[in-house]
Structure 1
Amino acid sequence: MGVRKAVKGVGDFLVETVGEVVAEVVLSVLACLLLGLLALTAHLAWSFSPRATLVGVAVLGLALAHGAWAAFRDPAKGRGRRGLAAVTSAGFVLTAATAVFLALYVPDCGCL
């Protein structure tokens, strides 16, 4: 009985280890693809119109700043987040999560 339990434990360890390695590779590839897509979008936008790109970046920055402000302040009594505050807060959270994801996985992909 002891040998079977040991073999099962080793098998479970190998399956878990291979699963983690595959997950890391998949996440690194996704991070590289996302970084490439963001760089391509910035390049194409700049090629199309540098002024519009700067205006778009400024508007996006203002929206993210408003989202951060709305996310970290307390809403008025009896009111939840509504309208623009809810949209910009969601955009800020999504952008922050994407930045953390890229910060964790892009250095391992070798594309820098």
Structure 2
Amino acid sequence: METVGEAVAELILTLLACALLACLALIVYLSWSFSPRLTVSGAGLLSLFLAHGAWRTFRDPAKGRGRRGFAAVTTAGFTLTAATGVFLLFYGAGCSCL
């Protein structure tokens, strides 16, 4: 029974990863067909946002100061993106839908 449960859970996670990959590809396709310049600009801004979040995540905070405001948002965005990337690395690699 445990093996069946693990197989079903693996199947559900793989399907979720395939659906996430399909949605990301659809977003890029629709964005590019709407405006290529805006797509490249948005990708650049998203890269800056994630780079700031990574920098704030791995940098030692100043004494007596926690993460506030924009730094907290970029750190959370970077963490969420990194977790999604790890999820897709483990479960999206076996997706034969692409």
Q: What range describes the TM-score normalised by the shorter chain of this pair?
A: over 0.9
* Alignment partner, residue 65 of structure 1: 51
* Alignment partner, residue 20 of structure 2: 34
Return the offset for 1:75: 1.0
Return the offset for 1:109: 2.2
TM-score normalised to structure 1 length:
0.85
- Give the distance between the partners of 1:68 and 1:80, measured in 2 at CA: 15
TM-score normalised to structure 2 length:
0.97
Give the residue type in structure 1 aligned to 2:71.
A
Residue from 82, 88, 98 that aligns with 1:96? 82
* Alignment partner, residue 67 of structure 2: 81
Which has the higher relative contact order, 1 or 2, with Cα contacts under 8 A spaced 6 or more apart?
2
* Alignment partner, residue 9 of structure 2: 23
Return the offset for 1:108: 1.6
Partner secondary structure for residue 108 of structure 1:
coil
Q: If each structure's helix is expressed as a fraction of its own residues, which one has the higher value?
A: 1
* Contiguous gaps of at least 5 residues in structure 2: none
Q: Percentage identity across aligned positions?
A: 66
- Give the distance between the partners of 2:8 and 2:69, measured in 1 at CA: 41
Larger Rg: 1
* Aligned pairs for 1:45-60 within 5 A: 45-60=31-46
Return the offset for 1:107: 2.0
Partner secondary structure for residue 93 of structure 2:
helix
**Equivalent pairs, count:** 98
Over residues 4-31 of structure 1, what are the superposed CA-to-partner deviations in whole Å (9 max), with x where a residue is unaligned?
A: xxxxxxxxxxx11011000000000000
Over residues 38-60 of structure 1, what are the superposed CA-to-partner deviations in whole Å (9 max), with x where a residue is unaligned?
A: 00000000000000000000000
